[in-house]
């Protein structure tokens, strides 16, 4: 199963800021008497590229669930968590993310971590997580209680 990230409501603002950055860099290149040097133009172009990258992150983020585990793919970063490693799923409904999937890797160099998810199909992902990782504790943080699915 594949779940895509929901889009940020004000994502068009990122493109607007990127266009302003590119416009400043272009104006400074075309009218060199107002330019302080080449490094400022480079920084404007770099900032514009970063804003464009921030705009496209939700379009390239998704979570895949299969029998082996959970995979998060974001741009060129891939992360895989086995189902036996999932310890807790927190339903938060915060502005930044909807689900927090906590895990702990065992063995040599064990570590804890989490995956933050904001899927379009929130309820379907929550049902699938409960089906694949029944050992995990499912918590509704907004209501401050442990919930059953």
* Mean pLDDT, rounded, for 11-33: 78
pLDDT confidence of residue 38: 67
The encoded tokens of residue 55 equal 């705009």
Domains of the chain with CATH codes: 2-56 (no CATH), 65-146 (2.30.29)
Residue 41 near residue 28 (C-beta atoms within 8 A): yes
Backbone φ and ψ for 90, nearest 5 degrees, come out as: -110, 125
DSSP-derived letter for residue 5 is B
pTM for the model: 0.69
Location of structure tokens 């480079």: 42
Region label for 107, one of left (φ > 0), alpha (ψ between -120 and 50) or beta (otherwise): left
pLDDT digits (tens, 9 = 90+) for 114-142: 888 888 888 888 888 889 988 888 888 76
Secondary structure (3-state) at 38: helix
């Amino acid at each position: 199963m594949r779940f895509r990230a929901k889009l940020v409501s004000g994502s068009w603002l990122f493109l607007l800021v990127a266009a302003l950055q590119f416009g400043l860099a272009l104006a400074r290149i075309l009218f060199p008497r107002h330019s302080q040097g080449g490094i400022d133009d480079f920084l404007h172009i770099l900032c514009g590229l970063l804003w464009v990258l921030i705009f496209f992150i939700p379009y390239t983020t998704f979570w895949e669930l299969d029998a082996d585990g959970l995979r998060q793919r974001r741009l060129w970063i891939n992360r895989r968590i086995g189902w036996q490693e999932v310890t807790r799923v927190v339903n938060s409904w915060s502005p930044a993310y909807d689900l927090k999937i906590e895990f702990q890797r065992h063995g040599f160099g064990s570590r804890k971590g989490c995956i933050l998810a904001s899927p379009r199909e929130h309820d379907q992902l929550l049902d699938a997580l409960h089906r694949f990782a029944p050992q995990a504790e499912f918590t509704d943080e907004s209501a401050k209680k442990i919930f059953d699915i």
